[in-house]
Amino acid sequence: MSKINVAVIGVGNCCSALVQGVHYYRTSSQRSSYGLMSERVGQYDAKDIEFVAAIDVNQKKVGRDLSEAIFLDPNNTPRFSAVPRIGVIVKKGPLLDGLGNHAKELIHVDSSKPSNISELLRESEAEILVNLLPTGAKRATQYYAEQALKAGCAFVNGTPSKLASDKNWQKRFKSARLQLVGDDIKNQVGSTVLHETILRMLSMRGVRIDESYQLDIGGGMESLNALDRDRSIIKRKVKIGTVSSAVPYKFPIVAGSSDYVEFMKNSRTSHFWIKGKYFGKSEFTLDMTLNVVEGPSCAAVLVDVIRATKIARDRKIAGTPIAICAYGFKQPPERLSFDEATRLFGEFSAGRRRKGS
């Protein structure tokens, strides 16, 4: 069975959970499909993912083996799997707009010269570049996408920066015969998928939605980053766009991160409120709380998305395969309902829908 050579940009909380998760599901004594969204995607197991390169700017992480860097401060996602030495040293990338004002106070940027990223990707034989930069790193995301194009790598955009949902980038990857999937991972157990699902269910059952909000507080760097409203506005827009697409009319809605609480570490509490009317204009309210750890919830989806992107690469499908984008991301080039996206993804991975559209 061939391996899937993956390079990662941003060795933060999501990367930590992804690296830990791949090792967790590789270790035979621990291995079971429990917690995976798909045990197999096509012919690929989670254990087929191989990390071949990693890039960051944090002085503490650059120069360290990936297996150590994932556990270094300010990363605070839980350690759920020991990870043996991987033999991949974290390389320095260019900072550009990678860090927001709050993060800059906590993170010392490594002073060494940035690596030549396209060369690093070629030399490490990376097939897929996974972008896990902080929200708001628009220029840095575009820079790394250029490097992927130069090196002949597929690009997975886990961040809300517009790439797979941008026509120009779609064209560029398609004409380079490469895959571009994104944007903004939709968590396995997350506030967006839950909010969207409940609203869709209520709407399908004839309920009129009057108003709704979903406000998150958390202690990861992404929650700190969200205090920087100029940087995090894009995330709010993506969340609101996804959630409101569940209901076929406009209604007042707010969705996004509202505060940073350091001691919560990488966990996030989401408060949901829905007010509406059902039979005979009877009123109801729904008030609900969800608490999850962010990193693993993102990594679960990435493990599927990476395997599906490899299948697209094997089948020489270029551009933005909708079966992967609509399944794994909040802002795909084309939005599908959760059920439809899951069905399409299953058919694509089983080879019944070879082109993923």
Ligand X SMILES: NC(=O)c1ccc[n+]([C@@H]2O[C@H](COP(=O)([O-])OP(=O)(O)OC[C@H]3O[C@@H](n4cnc5c(N)ncnc54)[C@H](O)[C@@H]3O)[C@@H](O)[C@H]2O)c1
Residues that bind ligand X (CB under 6 A): 9-15, 55-58, 93-96, 98-99, 107, 132-135, 137, 140, 158-160, 184-185, 187, 220-222, 294-295, 297-298
Q: Cβ distance 247 to 200 under 8 Å?
A: yes
Instruction: Give the nearer residue to ligand X in terms of CB position, either 98 or 356.
Output: 98
What is the spatial distance between Cα 241 and Cα 158, in angstroms, rounded to a whole number?
Answer: 17
Residue closer to ligand X, measured from CB, 21 or 158: 158
Residue with smaller CB distance to ligand X, 121 or 137: 137
Q: Which is nearer to ligand X, 13 or 318 (CB)?
A: 13
Query: Which residue type is seen at 92?
Result: K
Helices (H), 124-190: 138-151, 167-175
* Shortest distance in whole angstroms from residue 127 CB to ligand X: 19
Nearer to ligand X, 157 or 244 (CB): 157
Torsion sign (Cα): 45, 267, 221, 162? positive
Q: How far is the CB of 141 from ligand X (least distance, A)?
A: 9
Contact 65, 38 (CB under 8 A): no
Nearest residue relative to ligand X (C-beta): 12
Rounded-to-integer distance, Cα 194 and Cα 190, Å = 6
CB of 325 to ligand X, least distance (A): 14
Contact indicator for 219, 266 with CB cutoff of 8 Å: yes
Nearer to ligand X, 202 or 345 (CB): 345
DSSP string for 190-223: -HHHHHHHHHHHHHHTTPEEEEEEEEEEE-SHHH
Q: Please say which residue, 189 or 288, places its beta carbon nearer to ligand X.
A: 189
User: Per the structure block, which two tokens stand in for 63?
Assistant: 């120069």
> What span, in angstroms and rounded, lies between the C-alpha atoms of 187 and 193?
7
Shortest distance (Å) from residue 254 CB to ligand X: 18
Minimum gap (Å) between residue 57 Cβ and ligand X: 4
Residue 209 CB, nearest approach to ligand X (Å): 24
- Which H/E stretch holds residue 44? strand 44-45
Distances (CA, A) of 332 to 186, 306, 322: 10, 16, 7
Comparing CB distances to ligand X, the nearer of 23 and 265 is 265
CB of 139 to ligand X, least distance (A): 9
Distance CA 182, CA 196 (A): 18
The least CB distance from residue 16 to ligand X, in Å, is: 7
The SS3 assignment for 325 reads: helix
Cβ-based neighbour number of residue 295 at 10 Å: 29
Nearest to 13 by CA among 70, 64, 95, 59: 70
